[in-house]
């Protein structure tokens, strides 16, 4: 029972701000546990993926702890859950076929620092789709 309560406490609630707004993914909060290709701050910015959404979907499916929650047109949303404590990160992808890129946003639901996990995840996906 205690394990279940711990798991639920670490998962947090799914943010209501997910999804594309005016053709863009959201930016990051001030905390250093998020990266977004639509964020202009150097600490949070990450380069979009040069890939198709289909390639990204396949890469995500192969990653541990990943679960695709929603796919709608050019948008894909997945949750990544850590094995040990059950922390959940929200990861979004928005394809821009005209530019030949997929914009990304990866953010931890809880805590302040992620020790670079969100950036490393996106870079692992980048390698997988190359």
**Structure confidence at residue 4 (pLDDT):** 45
* pLDDT over threshold 80, residue 2: no
* pLDDT over threshold 70, residue 7: no
First to last CA, the chain: 43
* pLDDT over threshold 60, residue 5: no
Task: Report residue 55's pLDDT band, with 50, 70 and 90 as the boundaries.
Answer: very high
Beta carbons within 8 Å of 43's beta carbon, 6+ residues apart: 32
Task: Report residue 97's pLDDT band, with 50, 70 and 90 as the boundaries.
Answer: very high
CA distance 61 to 75: 15
CA distance 26 to 104: 9
Kindly tell me the sign of the dihedral angle through the C-alpha atoms of 95, 106, 77, 72. negative
Summarize the confidence of residues 8-17 as an average pLDDT: 73
Alpha helices in 1-116 (DSSP H): 2-11, 53-61
Q: Coil, helix or strand for 50? A: coil
**Structure confidence at residue 114 (pLDDT):** 73
**Structure confidence at residue 115 (pLDDT):** 80
* pLDDT over threshold 60, residue 8: no
Helices and strands: H and E segment counts in the chain: 3, 5
Question: For all residues of the chain together, what is the average pLDDT?
Answer: 89
* pLDDT over threshold 90, residue 113: no
Give the residue extent of every domain in the chain: 2-12+24-129
Give pTM, 2 decimals.
0.88
DSSP code at position 79: E
- Could you say which of 3.90.320, 3.90.228, 3.30.310, 3.30.70 is the CATH number of the domain covering 2-12+24-129? 3.30.310
């Amino acid at each position: 029972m205690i394990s279940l309560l711990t798991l639920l406490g670490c998962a947090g609630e799914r943010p209501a701000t997910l999804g594309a707004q005016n053709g863009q993914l959201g930016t990051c909060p001030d905390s250093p546990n998020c990266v977004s290709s639509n964020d202009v701050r150097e600490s949070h910015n990450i380069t979009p993926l040069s890939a198709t959404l289909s390639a990204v979907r396949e890469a995500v499916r192969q990653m541990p702890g990943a679960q695709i929650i929603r796919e709608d047109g050019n948008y894909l949303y997945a949750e990544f859950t850590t094995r040990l404590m059950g922390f959940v990160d929200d990861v979004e992808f928005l394809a821009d076929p005209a530019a030949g890129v997929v914009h990304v946003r990866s953010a931890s639901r809880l805590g302040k620092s992620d020790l670079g996990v969100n950036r490393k995840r996106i870079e692992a996906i980048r390698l997988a789709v190359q």
